[in-house]
Each structure stands twice: as C-alpha cells, then as structure tokens.
Structure 1
Amino acid sequence: MMKPSDLLLGVSLGLIAGYVDTAGFVALFGLFTAHVTGNFVLIGTELARPSAGHVLPLKLLAIPAFAAGVIVARLLDFRCARLQHNPARPLLLMQFVLLTGFMVAGLAAAPDLAPQAPLVLVAGMLGAAGMGVQNAAGKLEFARLAPTTVMTGNVTGILIDATDMATGRATPPVRERFAKFFWPVLAFAIGCIAGGSAYMWIGFWCLLPALALLAWLAVLDWPVPVPAAAAKAA
C-alpha cells in the first residue's frame, strides 16, 4: 500500500473541507460545517435581523454538534494511545461515518428542505460533527500539516512568505513553508467551487466523491508513530 505523504494529506483534507463546507452551506441555508467562526457570525446576524426561514435553531445546534465531534475525537485519540494504536485511521473512519450520516439524512430530508425539519437539523449536526473530527485530527494527528479547514491564517502566511520571496528575503525554510501552505489553500478553494456546483447538480449525492476520497485516505498504509520512550532511547 502507498504511504501517504504530507503533501497528499494536506491537499486531500483541504479539498474535502472546502467541498463539504460549501455543499453544506448551499444545501442547509448558509450553515458552515467545517468551522464555527462563520456560524457565530451567522447566529449574531440572525439574532439582529431574524429571517423568515427560522434558520437559527439549525445554526445553534451546529455548535454543540461540532464540539461533540472534537471531544469524541479526543477521547478516541486517548484510547488509541492507551492501546498503542495509530489513531489516524480511526479518526478518518469516524469522520467518514459521520459524513455518510450527513448525506443520508440530507437525502431523506430532500426534496422539500425546511430549516426546522427534523432531518435537516440532524443532517446539519452530523455534518458539523464530522468536520469537528477533521478539525480535531488536524490538531492531534496532523499537526505537522498546514490547517486544512480554516484558511484565514494560511492565506495570511502565504502572503507574508510570498512578499519575502518577491523581495529576495526568503530563506529555504520560508520557501518550504510557502509550498506547505499554498497547496492545501488551493485545494480548499477548488473544493469550494466543486462542492457548491455538485450540490446544485445532484443534491446530497454530491457528497459521494468526498466520502470516496476520505475512505481512500483511511485505508492508506499509515506510518506507525514511534513511542516517546523508544524515540528517546534511539
């Protein structure tokens, strides 16, 4: 089996995040599944200027669902450490299961989607929980990668490094960091375009390509982490 490279992981996870986040945003009345920042803004907007669609419950429920995804991912990480198992595959499989539930609930709710319909609320919560797992995995297992779900910091870093490169001040580590952050950002942007377009074309079935990519990542030959004690002894 192929061993995943950091570039492959960063690009794949960035693509999945942009794809799922945009598909969810288009499908679920402006809900962000991949990050909570946008939902806080939308909740504030809804409280200040309520819409006729009554989308506030959907946005509110996404916050604890996202938190639950992060917490359960952390607990799974603890369990894997205790059993001396590599947590990468279990975390990716957990995200796969949650996003599959997101798709199934969305398909069951269609074609008459309403912001307060029970299946729509379930779909939103499952999508947010699934992307909460990816956010947690980025901190716990993939910290060596550029963040793959929230791009503001990535773009800021890219622009700073690009300025250094353009003015001749860039060192080799700066060029390496630029590449490390640039490709996931590009993949995220492509995922956003593809996810929104695919939902408009085939509805919630559009999540199948993201699920297939996630499943492929989960079955790759992950390197087994070296225990801390063994690393010190070496």
Structure 2
Amino acid sequence: MNDDNLLSATAGYVDTLSFVSLFGLFTAHVTGNFVLIGGGVAGYGQGVFLKLMAFPAFILGVALSSFIIRGRNPETPMRGACMLYAVQALLLLAFCFAGVNLGPRFNPENWAVVVCGMIGATAMGVQNAHSRLVARAGVPNTVMTGNVTQVILDALDLCSPRVVADVKSAARTRVAKMLPAIVAFGLGAVAGALAYRNFGFRALLLPVIGLVWLAMQAWIHRDAAGKLAS
C-alpha cells in the first residue's frame, strides 16, 4: 500500500471512529459538522458545542503544520513529510489516551469529551494541510467527494467514442491514482467502526503505527529529492 492509500485509509478510519464514538463528530471531513450543527440547533442530534469546537482545533492543526514546514524550512519534501507524519502520530496517540480516559460512559457536554474531540480534529487538520504544504505527486486523501466526482467523469470519457486518445490516456492515469485511494478510504471507514466496537479508543493505535511507519520511510528517504535535484 503506497502513501496515498495508507493516508486515505487513515482518514476514513479516524473519521468514522470519531463519528461513532463522539456523537457524530467528523474530525477529517470537518466541514461535515456544519450539517450536524444545523441539525443540532433545530433539535436533531446532540453535541453542538463539541462540533463547534472542532473548527478551532482543526485550524490549529493546519496552523501548526504551516509553522512546522514554513518555519523550519526543511531541505527536501521528504524531511517535511517526516515531521508532519510524526506530529500527526503524536496527536492521534493523544487522541487515543484522551478517549480511553473518558471511561465507558460519557456525554457530549462533558469538557473531557470536547477536549478529546478537539485533539482528534487537530490531528486530522495536520493531515489535511500535509498535501498542500509538502510537494508530492498524490491525490487528496481526506475527503473523497472530489475524487469520486473526477473518477466518474473520467469513466464517462473512457466509455465515450467521441473522446480523443490523449484525453482517454490522461483519464486512465487519473483513475489508476484515485480509485485505489477511494477504495482505501471506504475500507478504512468500515475498519474504524468495527475496531471501535471491539477495542474502543484503543483502536486508534493502529493508525498511529501506520503513521510511524510512514515517518520512518520518509526519514530513510529524506535526502532523496536533494540527490535527484543535484
């Protein structure tokens, strides 16, 4: 599994786990909370304050990523990627500990629950910012709506006899990149829900391990871009 697919699976996994555990909170697809806040204001659902606080936490994750990359100015993209993978892993580990400490019963108005959700949103803010701050030949890996739309359009082009060969070739290349990420996201979402059912917040240790592995791979290849450039 390449980096994009693993990150897509991580996003689906964490987003679904937070949704089923924290009263419908989205941590990766944070704008989805707008819909849930609207429903909560009208009396449908619960945890409006929890979902509101996800926004400043998400902003913090993006700002922290920007500070790390633009402030430290890593010499190669792989060095920057290594730092962001490590930071996200630490934040997800904190999310795990915060969730475990909630105990078996908790409600969305509890400050410990709010803080737990904010840590998760901060972690996924880092992943959302990653692809925009570190140059990489990948696809969006946290929100799949754009990828699904593009794959559908490309599939229509591939099936159309009116589309020229060059356009079909480009469409085929995009589908080959995006479709595995979409599948990985979906599988991650299913795995996140099942893992929470069986292991609770301890299930977050799995994406932590994945991010640590990505950080190690990025560290091993940290000078690759510099060598290629020279």
Normalising by structure 1, report the TM-score. 0.88
Number of the residue aligned with 2:92: 99
Number of the residue aligned with 2:221: 222
Give me the identity figure in percent: 41
Deviation (angstroms), 1:71 = 0.5
Q: Distance in 2 between matches of 1:226 and 1:189?
A: 32
Q: Is the 8 A contact 1:158 1:182 kept in 2?
A: yes
Q: Distance in 2 between matches of 1:60 and 1:112?
A: 22
- Residue type matched to 1:16 in 2? T
Q: Tell whether 2:59 aligns with 1:84.
A: no
1:37-48 paired onto structure 2 within 5 Å: 37-48=31-42
Q: Is the 8 A contact 1:35 1:132 kept in 2?
A: no
> Among residues 205, 209, 215, which one is paired with 1:208 in the alignment?
205
Q: Distance in 1 between matches of 2:184 and 2:205?
A: 17
Q: Is the 8 A contact 1:154 1:181 kept in 2?
A: yes
> Among residues 7, 11, 17, which one is paired with 2:11 in the alignment?
17
Q: Distance in 1 between matches of 2:91 and 2:152?
A: 34
Number of the residue aligned with 1:126: 119
1:1-234 paired onto structure 2 within 5 Å: 8-49=2-43, 51=45, 53=46, 55-81=47-73, 84=75, 86-141=79-134, 143-168=136-161, 169=163, 170-220=167-217, 221-224=220-223, 226=225
For the residue of structure 2 that corresponds to 1:84, the secondary structure is coil
Q: Distance in 2 between matches of 1:50 and 1:184?
A: 33
Deviation (angstroms), 1:143 = 4.8
- Residue type matched to 1:13 in 2? L
- Residue type matched to 2:63 in 1? I
Q: How many residues matched?
A: 221
* RMSD over equivalenced CA pairs, Å: 1.9
Q: Which structure 1 segments of 5+ residues have no match?
A: 1-6
Q: Distance in 2 between matches of 1:73 and 1:225?
A: 22
Cα deviation digits, residues 74-132 of structure 1 (max 9, x gap): 01011231x53621111111101111111100000021121122221111000000000
* Closer/same/farther in 2, CA of residues 142 and 206 from structure 1, 3 Å limit: farther
Deviation (angstroms), 1:225 = 6.9
Q: Which structure 2 segments of 5+ residues have no match?
A: none
